[in-house]
Structure 1
Amino acid sequence: MSPTPPLAARLRGVASSPVRDLLALLERPEVLSFAGGLPAPELFDVDGVRDAYARALSGPGARLALQYAPTDGNPELRALIADRLSGRGLPTGAGDLLVTTGSQQALTLVATALLDPGAVVAVEEPTYLAALQCFQLAGARIVTVPGDEDGVDPDALADVVARHRPVLFYTVPTFANPTGRTLPAERRAAVARVAAASGLWVVEDDPYGELRYRGAPVAPLAASPDAAVLYLGSFSKIGAPGLRLGWVRAPAALRPALVVAKQAADLHTSTIDQAAAAAYLAATDLDAHVKLLQDAYRERRDTMIAALPGTLPPGSRWTEPDGGMFTWVRMPGDLDAAELLPTALAHDVAFVPGAPFYAGAPDRSTFRLSFTTNTPEQIREGMRRLGRALAAHGTAVRPADDRPDPV
């Protein structure tokens, strides 16, 4: 046999996503998975999406919906997205947007446009693990910014900027993945000031912002007039992830570079999917659909949070998010979530150990639970299974009325 060519150096050290690997468990229907950040499929608007595709493939524009298209995206779709963002307090024009194949591609395009090998990227700790993959693939050096129960610490960010001179700071400030935390308005203003003073690009990833279950919305970082903020959004959480439609709202100076990067990646996002999304948004009361999601997910979040005191060992802590898809758990002492996972899988329940979400030294006692995919009844059963797994792992469970302060 001829020798196998070596892999590109840029792939070295880029680990496979444990979340994507755990999705294989969906082939085992007996497993109740709290691992993936998956929307509830029973809440997808299948009829509305089907009708939208039918409209996109009807009339004089049908053949254009199957043709090559401009790289920056369907003009009608961009205008509709811009209107929605403007209505949420982020003034946006269609020309500010580039439609992407999911917001993950938007992040990849940003990395392509801004990062040379060896460039420094600052990230909150812990953070979205696919962002870490993206920056590692770009050959960046990743430095971490600590925070607390309110999210990233702006003073710590200023210190990191002074010491490491990063090119960009990546953050999920609203219902963060993995922690579920939301950065308060005063900290957002402080982050914007740090970025503006240092010429730091900020990448604000906001796939969960519309999934709010309590409290008042907080203005996006991108609404700041001072900082240079790239705002990433997606239809995956409020529409359907199978559409693979996202966008990046970018300052005018950077948009041409992002367009060139996208041309090199895939020419343009699927024409028919964009046309169908535009038809869907034009004909659908999306606010009513989001309200349906909020009501359903609020109940699921409340069910999971209520079950945690009787499930986890004494001394455990967790977040109680105002929205989004996740709660973040820390077990006491030196308990290792990765060592617990095989026992949990043997009890037909899954979660994601926390270590892969850390770019620095991980806290191995942490893990992430997603509450959106399963019904309240399934969540209660999954928590019972997790409690049994903890017991089998040799970990005592707290009394049900012994409730800690949130992480």
Structure 2
Amino acid sequence: MPLQFADRLNNVETSAIRELFKLLGKPGIISFAGGFPDSAMFDVDGIRAASNAALDQEPGAALQYGATEGYQPLREQISAFMTSKGAAALAPENLIVTTGSQQALDLLGKTLISPGDKVIVEGPTFLATIQCFRLYGAELISAPIDADGVQTDVLEQLIAEHKPKFVYLIPTFGNPSGALLPLDRRKKVLELAVKYNTLVVEDDPYGDLYFGEAPPPSLLALSAQVPGSRDLLAHCGSLSKVLSPGLRVGWLVAPPELLAKATMCKQFSDAATSTFAQATAAQYLKAGRLPGTLTRMRAVYAERAQAMGDALRKDLGQAIAFVQPQGGLFVWARLTGAGGKVADGNAFAKRAIEKGVAFVPGTPFFCAQPDSATLRLSFATADVEKIREGVARLAQAL
């Protein structure tokens, strides 16, 4: 007899991005598809020294089971890191360490979503979030974005109409949009949380990857300026994009009651994030190497982002529209169809593969009313020459 799977699996399907990776084995292909950092940017020497320090100084703690809430020295280092970015009065007890920020999102789904609950997300938003929240039975409501992120006037209308369980946002260099929410909209989001007594989830894996001026403070940092908003805010952070995805270290900051429920659910899934990875991360942060690593990353990614923008304007011209990213890993673009060129992102992706270049069509990033003309290009893992060559191939595929 065939296996009988849980009904919740009827609401999700495998990741379109992961499926795309199966096509990337073609020799010589240039990929703008991945959403990950360049492995050449990893501070291997620093991570090696940190892992050695973890084994030298506290081998028992680094190799043994640990507390579900996280390895205390790492919680202290994350607290100090977040405090340095304006998150005042963030004690180690206000956060738990998660196995990447993806687990933080999963824990929020487990603890907050009952089948049929409404959740507002940006349109477009992080694909894995759509899949995760739908797995727990959420009805997702799409809040439109523009070049400056979520449109807060429309967001208010949606909150008032749908009374969601929570609102999920990526305010800083979002995936896939790359958009940066300005200060006035950030404050408006927090004011809406208080006005409608609605939890806001801030996902912030890219906020340290800025190319010029630092972005506005996170919602977490700004919450001190909007009375009552801190009690209606959850914040997900990660070291994956700035240190190493392989360490799988993220964190969740949340109100005490929600944090307690999330910790309980984490006990059911992995008992604790790898203590060795946590001890390594703690030693790395303690050594003070992260600022230098971030400086190098920002310079490299800024150069690549500029190269991609310049090449797109030169080679694709009026056939594509996009906003030059100010940080993060992505260019979010829209095909215009100008000059009779292809205007469908999915069709364009297939033609691009034939020319030896890959990207992700935009439709999977929408929970509703997908814009088929959109696409996401990552500049993180290709050097400037590969970017120029890859964009030239895109022009041939138009």
TM range (shorter): over 0.9
**Residue 203 of structure 1: CA displacement?**
0.6
SS of equivalent residue, structure 1 residue 327: strand
**Residue 342 of structure 1: CA displacement?**
1.6
Counterpart for residue 351 of structure 1: 359
CA distance in 2, matches of 1:58, 1:344: 50
**Residue 315 of structure 1: CA displacement?**
4.4
CA distance in 2, matches of 1:148, 1:107: 24
CA distance in 2, matches of 1:52, 1:315: 48
CA distance in 2, matches of 1:22, 1:33: 11
**Residue 376 of structure 1: CA displacement?**
0.6
Within-5 A mapping of 1:64-213: 64-91=61-88, 92-213=90-211
Counterpart for residue 375 of structure 2: 367
CA distance in 2, matches of 1:127, 1:260: 28
Counterpart for residue 308 of structure 1: 312
CA distance in 2, matches of 1:42, 1:315: 33
CA distance in 1, matches of 2:84, 2:181: 21
Contact in 2 for aligned 1:120/1:167 (Cα 8 Å): yes
CA distance in 1, matches of 2:26, 2:251: 33
SS of equivalent residue, structure 2 residue 325: coil
Call closer, same or farther: CA 1:25–1:49 in 2, change over 3 Å.
farther
**Residue 340 of structure 1: CA displacement?**
1.5
SS of equivalent residue, structure 1 residue 56: helix
SS of equivalent residue, structure 1 residue 174: coil
CA distance in 2, matches of 1:185, 1:269: 34
Could you tell me the TM-score, scaled by structure 1's length? 0.92
Which structure's residues are more often helix, by fraction?
Answer: 2
SS of equivalent residue, structure 2 residue 295: helix
Unaligned runs of 5+ in 2: none
SS of equivalent residue, structure 2 residue 121: strand
CA distance in 2, matches of 1:280, 1:45: 10
CA distance in 1, matches of 2:308, 2:238: 25
Contact in 1 for aligned 2:143/2:154 (Cα 8 Å): yes
CA distance in 2, matches of 1:236, 1:15: 25
Q: Percent same amino acid among aligned pairs? A: 43
**Residue 388 of structure 1: CA displacement?**
1.2
Contact in 1 for aligned 2:29/2:356 (Cα 8 Å): yes
Counterpart for residue 269 of structure 2: 265
Could you tell me the TM-score, scaled by structure 2's length? 0.94
Q: Cα deviation per residue 1:107-148 (whole Å; 9 max; x = unaligned)?
A: 000111111111110011111111101111111000111232
Correspondent of 1:276 among 274, 277, 280: 280
CA RMSD of aligned residues (A): 1.4
Contact in 2 for aligned 1:180/1:326 (Cα 8 Å): yes
Counterpart for residue 377 of structure 1: 385
Contact in 1 for aligned 2:304/2:380 (Cα 8 Å): yes
CA distance in 2, matches of 1:93, 1:237: 24
Call closer, same or farther: CA 1:6–1:313 in 2, change over 3 Å.
farther
SS of equivalent residue, structure 2 residue 200: strand
The one-letter code sitting in structure 1 at the alignment partner of 2:81 is R
**Residue 39 of structure 1: CA displacement?**
0.5
The one-letter code sitting in structure 2 at the alignment partner of 1:318 is F
Contact in 2 for aligned 1:158/1:194 (Cα 8 Å): yes
Counterpart for residue 256 of structure 2: 252
Q: Cα deviation per residue 1:70-111 (whole Å; 9 max; x = unaligned)?
A: 000011001101101110111221111100000000000011
The one-letter code sitting in structure 2 at the alignment partner of 1:285 is R
CA distance in 2, matches of 1:151, 1:13: 27
The one-letter code sitting in structure 1 at the alignment partner of 2:275 is T
CA distance in 2, matches of 1:72, 1:187: 32
Within-5 A mapping of 1:281-296: 281-296=285-300
